[in-house]
Amino acid sequence: MTLELTDQNFEEELKRAEKPILIDFWAPWCQPCFVLAPILEKVAEEFKDKIILAKANLEGAQGVAQRLGIDRIPMVVLFKGGKPVSGFVGVRPESAVRELLNKMLEDINNKEDKGNKTNIEEVIRGYQEYAEKNGFKLNPDREVVERLAKGLLENEKKYGERYCPCRRVVGNLEEDKPKICPCAWHREEIEKEGHCLCGLFWKK
């Protein structure tokens, strides 16, 4: 089912969307809009696991259209995380719409991969410096270190802190606080076992 967007629900629906949302800006008096609509619906059905299709009738979304600079229709815009990423204007054949959508999604994935890689590198660099200052080292297995850094970032996104991926987060701030990496037990574990529980820090 195609999502109908208006000035009233536009921001809320964009925030709520768990996938990129492809918005068809149209109007009842726009004949090309009626030509493009079934093409978009057919292609969107093929991509239903990757995107959400939405329609914004300019008669009910004038404020949004003005804010986004929608001055020609039909205009199709792909949004990710509530922000416009890419789009096109005018009627396109089905094959061209499919190709454009593939390219837009590929660009989003490439940007996310690049961003994730940058974040992981920053996390590793920070813990590398911490280890050196405190007389131990990072796990010599780079693959393990990257996996742990990814887990720390996922916990930060999910819980708001970089909790150790190997310790259970219960949701109680006081109880969970010692689990923030470097955790409260890492020094003792390194001394006793030669490495911390998750294996991020190793004894020199």
Whether 181 sits among the annotated catalytic residues: the reply is no
Q: How far is the CA of 41 from the CAs of 3, 49, 87, 155, 180, in angstroms?
A: 11, 14, 16, 37, 46
In the set 33, 181, 196, 198, the catalytic residue is 33
> Distance between CA atoms of 89 and 102, rounded to whole angstroms?
16
- Asked if 86 and 104 count as a contact pair (C-beta separation under 8 A), the reply is yes
Whether 30 sits among the annotated catalytic residues: the reply is yes
Q: What string of DSSP letters covers 176-201?
A: HGGGBSSPTTHHHHHHHHSB-TTSSE
* Residues with active-site annotation: 30, 33
